[in-house]
Copies of this chain bind each other. A is one copy, B any other.
Amino acid sequence: MTDAPVGSLSIITLGVADLDRSIAFYSAFGWPQAASSVPGVITWFDLGTVWLGLYPTTDLAADSGLRPGAARPPGEFSGVTLAINLGSRDAVGAALDTARAAGAHVTLDVADTDYGVYHACFTDPDGHVWELAYNPGFPIVDGRTVIP
């Protein structure tokens, strides 16, 4: 862990319009849910290193001292991507199959980039963007992606 004075990242919380719909979507990814999750209120998935929270957008905005924005039009970027780096091209394809079966909207099918990464992207029911990537330059050591 970093000894940075401000600490490190603990929880990424996604604002969602329909909590049950999002729980169903993310359950397909195989991450365990925290027992502390409160049905109908908030849910956390254990991503191993950090936690993924799901919480109604209006509540999350209010808790943050902000007002909710208008719904994002389809195809418009939300401003943040969450990347899962994997150990092979096949793993990217398999993970994309899992996402697609869960109802993900694939915004970029598997493709090679000109910077040496094989990846695909999808959005969840609220337009949050995920990337699945195989980057030979970023080894995965003990389950953690290493950026040299």
Contacts and interface: CB of A to CB of B under 8 A. Distances in A.
Interface in A47-94: 47-53, 57, 60-61, 63-69, 72-73, 75-86, 91, 94
B65 A144 contact: no
Interface residues of A, number: 80
Copies of this protein in the complex: 2
A88 to B, nearest CB: 11
Given A1-B144, A6-B98, A44-B147, A11 B83 contact: yes
Nearest to A85: B10
A43 B14 CA distance: 23
B65 A107 contact: yes
Contacts of A31: 2, 4, 8
Nearest to A58: B77
Given A63-B131, A79-B127, 14 more contacts: A8-B47, A8-B84, A9-B83, A9-B84, A12-B12, A13-B83, A13-B131, A34-B148, A50-B145, A64-B108, A66-B75, A68-B77, A69-B76, A79-B126
